Amino acid sequence: MTVTRPARLAGAALCAALVLTAAVWILKDLAALGSPADLAWYWAGDRFFLARGRAATSLVDPVLLVASAAAAVAALRSRHAASALAATGAATLALRLPGLWAPGSGALVTALLELALATGLVLVAAVGRRPAATPYEPLPGRPRTGAAVAAGVLLAVAAAVAAGWELYWASRLPLEATAARFTGGRSVVKAALAPPPGWLAAVLAALYAAAAASALARARHTRAFGLLAGALLAAHGLGGTAGAVRYEVLAHLADLPAVHRADVLTSLFELLAGVAVLVLLAGRGAPAAAPAPYPPAGVPPPPPPHPRPPGW
């Protein structure tokens, strides 16, 4: 299956609109905080030293910006961009949905706009596909077996870890606090555009699990979903690891309580696993099977078999 040229152009335009929306908010936060370093530390979760303002974006925003830009380039360059458009649209839909009930008109308008753009991406990826024009048209390659299995195992472990942490907090927190982790509210401290922490963990666990299943099956869409999952996994781990390095937690890791030690080790695993998934799936895939050769010009087709089978 390939994507028609009008659908590819429409998908690229929708991705460009997503990039522009994210860029406007990031530039607005840079103006409010005054320093890219301060904004980067805010994204990493360190908000205590900031006194000049409060950012509306989170680590999710730059990752979605890069994913949207990459999907736009893929749509313009490749006839097999359906998986990239679908992955970007589905992730944006899932991560922006809580913005519908977030306080603040700016977050609501942004959520409505990005949800509409993401829905358009998914529809373009589904409706804009067409069968190959000829049996000789090449298909997108599958990932190599070793790289796909390794990436699938790492993503499956990451999905289990994310789900395990949410189960742990659900068992430790009151029911109201657990619900607030998924729905947001005044008791949850987060950036205006950021999804609630429980919702984010659930979406990431689902994305990691889906990408792991496609990688282990060596599906043709593994590259798009796996790279997006790897980018989010690495970004999530980078935030926690950066905070641990800033406050020299790694040097006193053995002295920390078990829960805090496990949290730091989880961030390190997510960072390393995310980078490994990106490296494994960014490489060249397995060579596609060679299409059937064209018959030489002027050569008649081969004669029918004799005796002819029933129904020939």
In contact, 102 and 192? CB cutoff 8 Å: yes
End-to-end Cα distance, the chain = 29
pLDDT of residue 303: 64
CA angle 117, 220, 2 (to 5 degrees): 60
Provide φ and ψ at 130, rounded to 5°.
-145, 155
- Cα 107 to chain centroid distance, Å, stands at 21
Q: How many CA atoms lie within 13 A of 187 on its CB side?
A: 11
pLDDT of residue 153: 97
pLDDT of residue 106: 81
Helix (H/G/I), strand (E/B), else coil: 303: coil
Cα–Cα separations (whole angstroms), residue 239 to 9, 48, 255, 292: 35, 15, 22, 50
- The enclosing H or E element of 130 equals strand 129-130
Tokens 């590819």 -> residue: 8
| Radius of gyration for the chain, computed over Cα atoms and rounded to the nearest angstrom | 23
pTM metric for this prediction: 0.88
Token pair of 52, please?
């000049």
pLDDT in tens, 213-252: 999 999 988 999 999 999 999 999 999 999 888 888 888 8
pLDDT in tens, 271-302: 999 999 999 998 766 555 555 455 555 556 56
Token pair of 254, please?
């053995």
pLDDT of residue 300: 61
- How far apart are alpha carbons 135 and 5 in whole angstroms? 19
- How far apart are alpha carbons 273 and 157 in whole angstroms? 9
Intervals of the chain under pLDDT 50: 292
- Cα 19 to chain centroid distance, Å, stands at 15
